[in-house]
Chains A and B, each alone.
Chain A
Amino acid sequence: MQSFDFNYQQFAEVFARLGKKFRLFGPKRVPGRGRFSDTDLITYADLQNPEDLETAEKSYLSPKSIVFPPDETTFYFTADQFTEPELSDNRETIVFLRPCDINGIERLDRIFLENGKVKDPYYQRRREKLHFFMIECRESFENCFCVAMNANRTDNFATAIRFAPEKVSVMIQNESFLEAFAEVGKKSDFVPEFVKKDSKAVNLPDVEDMPADIFSDSLWDEYDSRCIACGRCNTSCVTCSCFSTVDIFYPDSRNCGERRRVWDGCHLDGFTDMAGGHSFRKDKGDRMRFKTFHKIYDFRKRFSEDMCVGCGRCDDVCPEYISFSSCINKLSDRLSGGKKDEE
């Protein structure tokens, strides 16, 4: 393991050099494309130059799109022929992302590569190309609770980077990147640090099995009227992995079309609709409960770790100011016999 320091000009040099060989993907500020006018959208996107990399603010959308795009064609149809699409970009990919998101992608691995003992090939072929360049987080952003979720640390990265005001420090774990950095940088003893304290205290429920009555507890009722089922908490979440399959046909052809999968989410209408009009979770409170348990309870039952990595994006994006982390705290309170009604 070796570390180097760079000024921003030198870092740009390394960046350009890496860009010749790798696809570079990371948090990017897109001016004026935020939800409100004259606000920026911070999303994950391809990076052309180092200035594209947004290191100061948390992204609105997560890096999951690099392995799990919002809309992915699984087959092209020509008459009865099924053809799998090639990847449009076959390069190895460097992803700049924070520790919580690295942990988040590992959670996606559980679903796409392990669940049911079948590997999802569409995910896998994208996933295999990734090299994590970890953006160091020393202090949590608003709404983050990665420490509580045990997702503030990771050693799963090729390099770790600190963006300080005057310099960039890089620790290299994956030797194959050594050359690109060593030629430009000055040796240093940089070692990345991790967030030690969440900006918001979140207490996870301390139970092995959820008592059955907590499913119908009045705790969830407030969300019936508060949540508008917009689905942002699912789409922005790095660990939400649900999708729906749709077949389409090209309007001008009888024979050609595609099978695609698109993001879906348990807060959205239609997620549980059955033939005959029955829907299992009509009430938004039930959806909130379902999401909460998936994130901090039942995923653990299958994979021995919680799904949620505490990135806090669901809190950042909810237009109705529903705080998932507060919901976890309310649940924990309730389970430990605490407060009944907060209102």
Chain B
Amino acid sequence: MSLDINRKKVTKNAYRVTKRRNMTAIRVRVPGGHLDAEHLKTVAEIAQKFGDGNVHITIRQGFEIPNIPFEKMNEVNAALKPLLETLQCANGVVIENLDNGYPGAGMRNISACIGNRVCPFGNVDTSALAAKLEGQLFPNDFHVKIAVTGCPNDCIKAHMQDFGIIAICEPQFDYDSCIGCEACANTCRRKVTGAITMRNGKAVRDVRRCIGCGECVLACPTSAWTRNQTKFFRLVIMGRTGKKNPRLAVPFLNWVTEDVVMKVIKNTIPYIDKHILRCLAKEHIGYIVDRTGYDTFRREVLDGIELNSEAKVAKTLQWPGYDTVNDANMKSYNQRKV
């Protein structure tokens, strides 16, 4: 009996057409890449019962369970229910029918480094923030990649995302506690940007050089440096891999609050809706921004948002990347024989 399925509907339901005829794969969303180990059992069950027992861990921190026959989709969807309940609904996602699987797949899983649940460098609970974003943004059909990283080390590779959210901290200085040991200045110079110099036996931070990593806080033996309780973020945007021109994301906003980050990303949805070329299969946001120009993007996504007083906004954006069609530079290379 030949299969007759609506491919677009299937894709929207987080299944995909695979290399093997009649077989699909389901993508399980794990916002922030953090989950109760109990859920691994559900993933395992689906793989064993409906697939071939294999699970692929995706770069975006989801699971892709391959080799599931298309006709099992309904059963798989039913089996996904506990995952939807805890990983999506519990975070505020509204899903009308929990037996129908994922209601969208355009907005990719929101990934996060392990963050301050574990990592000493982490400035925020990245998984929690990813979960919160999931609650606000999912389901959504636009192709947008978002990741949250706990500090400028950027272990989640936020610089390869459409929205890379980098948690930073503002180190605050208690003058009386500083004993002039220079540990902060040394660590900032060796590992970061050299934002701290010593003046009259005290550490002085150059706010323009400081990238908010928090290394100085970690280094200080007297807790003279501590973190401002307001959490700040740097939002780098429109980084991408891909066939046309891969590039690193660049800072759009710096020293903005979580609130601003959330609102900006939400505002992006109507921006995409307005400008996307519907004749293309699925225009990625990065290419839309390339087309509309940064000014339009900035005006529309910042519309109606009150920026916190510390916030800085990029005047212009220029992405370091390269064009994949640059054969002028790529020549055959023959090792000359001696």
Contact = CB atoms under 8 A, between A and B. Distances in A.
A32 B222 contact: no
Given A231-B183, A260-B201, A41 B116 contact: no
A35 B217 contact: yes
A71 B125 contact: no
B200 interface: yes
A69 interface: yes
B262 interface: no
Given A36-B120, A61-B223, A71-B176, A230 B125 contact: no
Interface in B220-271: 221-224, 226-227, 229
B179 A70 contact: yes
B222 A263 contact: yes
A33 B227 contact: yes
Contacts of A71: 175-180
B221 A231 contact: yes
Contacts of A235: 179, 221-222
A40 to B, nearest CB: 10
Contact of A70 (B124, B177, B183, B219): B177
B214 interface: yes
Contact of B122 (A32, A37, A246, A251): A37
Contacts of A101: none
A37 B223 contact: no
Given A32-B227, A37-B123, A70-B222, A231 B181 contact: yes
Given A36-B116, A70-B222, A248 B227 contact: no
Nearest to B169: A37
A230 B179 CA distance: 12
B296 to A, nearest CB: 36
A35 B122 CA distance: 11
Interface residues of A, number: 31
A36 to B, nearest CB: 5
A230 B201 contact: no
A268 B223 contact: no
Contacts of B227: 32-33, 37
A268 B120 CA distance: 23
Given A231-B221, A232-B221, A262 B201 contact: yes
Contacts of B169: 37
Contacts of A38: 116, 124-125
A105 B223 CA distance: 21
Interface in B193-216: 199-201, 214
A35 B220 CA distance: 8
Contact of A41 (B178, B218, B223): B223
29 contacts: A33-B223, A34-B226, A35-B217, A36-B116, A36-B120, A36-B218, A37-B122, A37-B169, A37-B227, A41-B223, A41-B226, A70-B177, A70-B178, A70-B179, A70-B222, A71-B176, A71-B177, A230-B219, A230-B221, A231-B181, A235-B221, A236-B221, A246-B180, A248-B201, A249-B200, A263-B179, A263-B222, A264-B179, A268-B181
Given A30-B226, A41-B223, 8 more contacts: A35-B120, A70-B178, A70-B222, A70-B224, A71-B178, A231-B221, A246-B201, A251-B200
Interface of A: 30-38, 41, 43, 60-61, 69-71, 230-232, 234-236, 246, 248-249, 251, 260, 262-264, 268
